Amino acid sequence: MANETASQSRSRPANTVAEREGDAQGKRYYRIGEVSRITDVKPYVLRYWESEFRWMAPQKSRSKQRLYRQRDIEMILLIKKLLYEQRFTIAGARKKLREFGAGRALESGNLAIETDHRSRYRKIRSELETIRAML
């Protein structure tokens, strides 16, 4: 009976992000199937994202298999968040990442859409007034 539960637990997909990320600890490179399982993004979607986000091209092995690093996986999770949770289009996600900078985006991990427009307008206005005072 213990063998049955062990085999069942191996065959079930990871349900939580912590379980999926637990698979990503300690390895240097991951193949596309592993990345697909960790990020819960289908392999064909990952290949498509490579064509849309040019800087997301992973290294390839001698046998032409894609080899993703931990940083690539983090970027994929960030793109997934932008597209699926925050409902950006691919062009919008590309623009947001370009504006924010891919490195800074990964460090902060938070690319929330600004919802308080009044504070943003106040900030812009104060910056413009500062520029006008300098002229």
14-51 per-position pLDDT tens digit: 443 444 554 545 789 999 999 999 999 999 999 999 99
* CA atoms within 13 A of residue 110's CA, in its CB half-sphere: 2
Give CA–CA dist 101/111, Å, rounded.
11
Q: Give me the helices (H) in 68-112, please.
A: 70-80, 90-100, 102-108
Assessment of whether the complete model's pTM goes beyond 0.85: no
Counting residues of the chain whose pLDDT is more than 90, the rounded percentage is 41
Q: Which range, 12-16, 35-39, 93-97, 101-105, has the best average confidence (pLDDT)?
A: 35-39
Give CA–CA dist 77/41, Å, rounded.
9
- With helix as H, strand as E and coil as C, how does 29-50 read? CECHHHHHHHHCCCHHHHHHHH
Give CA–CA dist 135/133, Å, rounded.
5
